[in-house]
Amino acid sequence: MRYPTMREAMESGETLVFGHRGAMASAPMNTLASFQLAYKQGAAGIELDVHLSKDGHLIVLHDFTIDATTDGQGAAADFTLAELKRLDAGSWFSPAFVGEQIPTLDEVFELVGRKLLINIEIKSRSTESEAINHAVADSIRSHQMTDRAIVSSFDSRLLQRFIEICPEVMIGYLHSPSGAADLMDGLAHEARHPWHELIDDAYMSWAKGSGYFVNAWTVNDTQRACALKRLGVNGLITDSPAHIIDALESC
């Protein structure tokens, strides 16, 4: 365990590397194989996405549908966990990963929760937000991950409610060029997670002056990684942890 808590990691002065959906350049995204590979490549943490299955289980999957990363079709929320577990979530990437399953958040915590920091992006439709917020909070607490996780979302209303439900977990507000960066102003949260091209001296001056940690997504270019390190970004979310770690060590 490189860092016992997320806050200590963010305050370390090191530019942390988080594997985007694991090590998705080298393994099928959001699978246990991908998360384990991110650990082997030296990442400080991982970023992942969660949805609710039809029967209320937290599954780790990026899209709202299963079409792109499994041998099934349809909305993930229309399948039970047992049905989702029968799908192949690895062969689309490479024959070497045939049989990889869609994992649950609990399974990820059990595999790498004591090894890696975990950035949980909550995905939900507005009608699901209350249920998924409670499910994420319960899972984090049951695995004693309150100080090793950060919850993020593009949905400021979802995050507002999560803060009320689980105030002991750090919050990161995701935003993109097309999204409003001020929707969380006035609400207690610890981090901003901007698309990396939004970050410059002025952004960092504002963020640090406002007391926010800054974790950038998705950084795969080595020169950009070094530039963000010099700007004082706290974390870089990347598809290839090993590649970016090597770059940061030499810049």
How far apart, in Å, are the Cα atoms of 188 and each of 131, 162, 163, 229?
A: 22, 11, 8, 26
Decide if 91 is inside a domain.
Answer: yes
Q: Which candidate in 20, 57, 189, 193 is catalytic?
A: 20
Q: How confident is the model at residue 184 (pLDDT cuts 50, 70, 90)?
A: confident
Q: How confident is the model at residue 187 (pLDDT cuts 50, 70, 90)?
A: confident
Q: What are phi and psi of 235, to 5 degrees?
A: -145, 150
Neighbours of 186 (CB within 10 A): 6
What would the two tokens of residue 92 be? 């689309």
Query: Mean per-residue pLDDT for 59-76?
Result: 98
Cα–Cα distance between 178 and 121 in angstroms, integer?
18
Q: How confident is the model at residue 126 (pLDDT cuts 50, 70, 90)?
A: confident
Decide if 154 is inside a domain.
Answer: yes
What is the residue type of 118? I
Q: How confident is the model at residue 180 (pLDDT cuts 50, 70, 90)?
A: low
pLDDT digits (tens, 9 = 90+) for 110-121: 999 999 999 999
Length of the chain: 251
Query: Mean per-residue pLDDT for 56-61?
Result: 98
Q: Are strands 213-216 and 191-194 parallel, antiparallel or unpaired?
A: parallel
Confirm if 36 and 56 have CB atoms less than 8 A apart: no
Decide if 99 is inside a domain.
Answer: yes
User: What pLDDT score was predicted for residue 216?
Assistant: 98
User: What pLDDT score was predicted for residue 154?
Assistant: 93
Decide if 223 is inside a domain.
Answer: yes
Percent of the chain with pLDDT over 70: 97
Decide if 1 is inside a domain.
Answer: no
The set of residues, in sequence order, having a beta carbon less than 8 Å from that of 111 and lying 6+ positions away, is 32, 35, 36
User: What pLDDT score was predicted for residue 181?
Assistant: 65
Residue predicted with more confidence, 183 or 144: 144
DSSP letter assigned to residue 87: S
User: What pLDDT score was predicted for residue 141?
Assistant: 98
Cα–Cα distance between 119 and 49 in angstroms, integer?
9
The burial of 167, by beta-carbon neighbours within 10 Å (0-12 exposed, 13-18 middle, 19 or more buried), is given as exposed
By three-state DSSP, how is residue 37 classified? helix
User: What pLDDT score was predicted for residue 2?
Assistant: 79
Q: What is the CATH number of the domain that holds 178?
A: 3.20.20.190
- Catalytic residue flag (residue 62): yes
DSSP letter assigned to residue 102: P
Domain that residue 124 falls in:
6-250
User: What pLDDT score was predicted for residue 98?
Assistant: 98
Positive or negative, the CA dihedral 30, 36, 39, 45 is positive
Q: How confident is the model at residue 4 (pLDDT cuts 50, 70, 90)?
A: very high
Q: How confident is the model at residue 247 (pLDDT cuts 50, 70, 90)?
A: very high
Residue 234 has pLDDT above 70, yes or no: yes
Decide if 174 is inside a domain.
Answer: yes
Range list of H helices, the chain: 6-10, 32-40, 81-85, 105-112, 129-142, 156-165, 201-209, 222-231, 241-250
Overall domain count for the chain: 1
Query: Mean per-residue pLDDT for 20-47?
Result: 98
Residue 166 has pLDDT above 70, yes or no: yes
Q: Which candidate in 57, 62, 143, 193 is catalytic?
A: 62
Residue 1 has pLDDT above 70, yes or no: no
What is the residue-averaged pLDDT of the chain? Answer: 95
- Closest by Cα among 64, 31, 58, 65 to 46: 31
Query: Mean per-residue pLDDT for 227-241?
Result: 98
Decide if 73 is inside a domain.
Answer: yes
